[in-house]
Amino acid sequence: MIAELISVGTELLLGNILNSNAKYLSEQCSELGLSVYFQTVVGDNPNRLEEVLKQGIQRSDVIILTGGLGPTQDDITKEIVAKVVNKKLIKDHDTEKKLNLFFEKRKVKMSHNNLKQAYVPEGSMVLDNHNGTAPGLIVKDETGKKSIILLPGPPKELIPLFEEQVKPYIKEKSHYTIVSEVIKIVGLGESLVEEKVLALIEKQTNPTIAPYAKDGEVHLRITSRTKTLKEGKALIEPTKKEIYNLLGQHIYSSDGRTLEEVVVDLLIEKNYSLSVAESCSGGLLSGRLINCSGISSVYKEGIITYSNESKIKLGVKKETIDAYGSVSEETAKEMAQAIATRAQSDVALSITGIAGPNGGTKEKPVGLVYIACHIHGKTIVEKINALGSRDKIRNFSVISAINLLRKELLKKG
């Protein structure tokens, strides 16, 4: 079945509100076996909403509208749906009672316009909203073959309503389920990943493979369409194994974990303690690691040594900085060794570089970064040349440092 999402609200068009509902509903529809071919955002304009809805009914089997169900004049979704399917709006007495009870419990007088929420297109299935006042609705078109699902806009209302009442409804209608797994890759660019798996992509039917470029990473989504979840997972497995054979240790996760979560789990598994010294990344590396659950059992210390003086205070030799500069392989190496000694940690990471937009030279351009990993007495240094804005250079440096640690931890067996 083909599904279509229509998000209603001028605030979405203006960018005042992030449209997180569309992301959530797209994922849910895929899991339920619906193919989402179209997504539309339309403002609180009756003519444009009517036009979009009519178009949706022509080309899709399930149309899900979000927003525009409240009590104010610009909440027009229900009224336009009723007009398009040629049905009268009638009062739903159960909804009216719930509205009265809602305001009575809060000891607040209900304004008259709230009763607008109690009117529904004739023949609708009313979906109870336990987290707000506007009920959801399922309305059939004039042929009785198309389902138009109306959901409140606030995610705290939409999500539980969808989970509890819309999901069971769709499951009854859909004969397929869509199963997806995401393989996460680091250390290779999108074009190189695509080149390595191109033969698989060209022969794909079911499952399909789609590459996505992320911040410093590439993700491959494998998607199968089958009648059951078990069949879908079984269908994905051979393709997944082929991708692992092609990309090897560039793959860091296929179970949803982030790069830093994988690294923290490895540290915990090996019972290795960690310390961090950062210059151009300014605490981003520590911050990303500390976001992970369980990090407190392995993380010992983090320090920002932005100036030359702070690097020397940490333990980097003044002679090293004078001879090679603060952005150098030698300085990165001594930073990692110094923080490991200071914190008495098994493992240490360091980053030093030029994040820009100023400060670069012909010999040391903006984007030049050195990262070092000190692990059980051995220090490995990598030089990277990052591109883009200051934020991109800093983020790429952090990803590269975490990945360097991952590679070294994997070598330890």
pLDDT along the chain (413 residues), means of 10: 96 94 92 90 97 98 97 95 97 94 89 94 96 96 96 97 95 83 94 93 90 91 88 95 96 97 98 98 97 97 97 98 98 98 98 96 96 96 96 97 97 80
Classify domain 177-253 at the CATH topology level. Alpha-Beta Plaits (3.30.70)
- What pLDDT score was predicted for residue 264? 98
> Per CATH, is 2-173 categorized as 3.40.50.300?
no
Domain chopping of the chain, boundaries: 2-173, 177-253, 259-411
Nearest to 401 by CA among 389, 383, 377, 376: 383
3-class DSSP state for residue 299?
A: strand
| Residue 323: burial class (beta carbons within 10 Å; 0-12, 13-18, 19+) | exposed
- What pLDDT score was predicted for residue 243? 97
Query: Distance between CA atoms of 285 and 296, rounded to whole angstroms?
Result: 15
Nearest to 6 by CA among 151, 146, 161: 151
- What pLDDT score was predicted for residue 185? 98
- What pLDDT score was predicted for residue 250? 97
Nearest-10 Cα torsion for 378, 383, 387, 392: 20
- Please tell me the pTM assigned to this model: 0.76
Query: Distance between CA atoms of 137 and 149, rounded to whole angstroms?
Result: 6
| Residue 389: burial class (beta carbons within 10 Å; 0-12, 13-18, 19+) | exposed
Bridge partners (DSSP) listed for residue 371: 351, 382
- What pLDDT score was predicted for residue 413? 67
> Do 116 and 74 form a contact (C-beta atoms < 8 A)?
no
- What pLDDT score was predicted for residue 175? 78
* Dihedral class, residue 127 (left if φ above 0, else alpha if ψ from -120 to 50, else beta): beta
Query: Which two tokens mark 33?
Result: 């076996």
CATH class of 259-411: alpha beta
Instruction: Render the burial of 117-132: b for 16+ CB within 10 Å, e for the rest.
Output: bbbbbeebeebebeeb
For residue 67, the tally of other CB atoms under 10 A from its CB is: 27
For residue 90, the tally of other CB atoms under 10 A from its CB is: 14
- What pLDDT score was predicted for residue 80? 98
Bridge partners (DSSP) listed for residue 179: 224
Query: Distance between CA atoms of 154 and 27, rounded to whole angstroms?
Result: 17
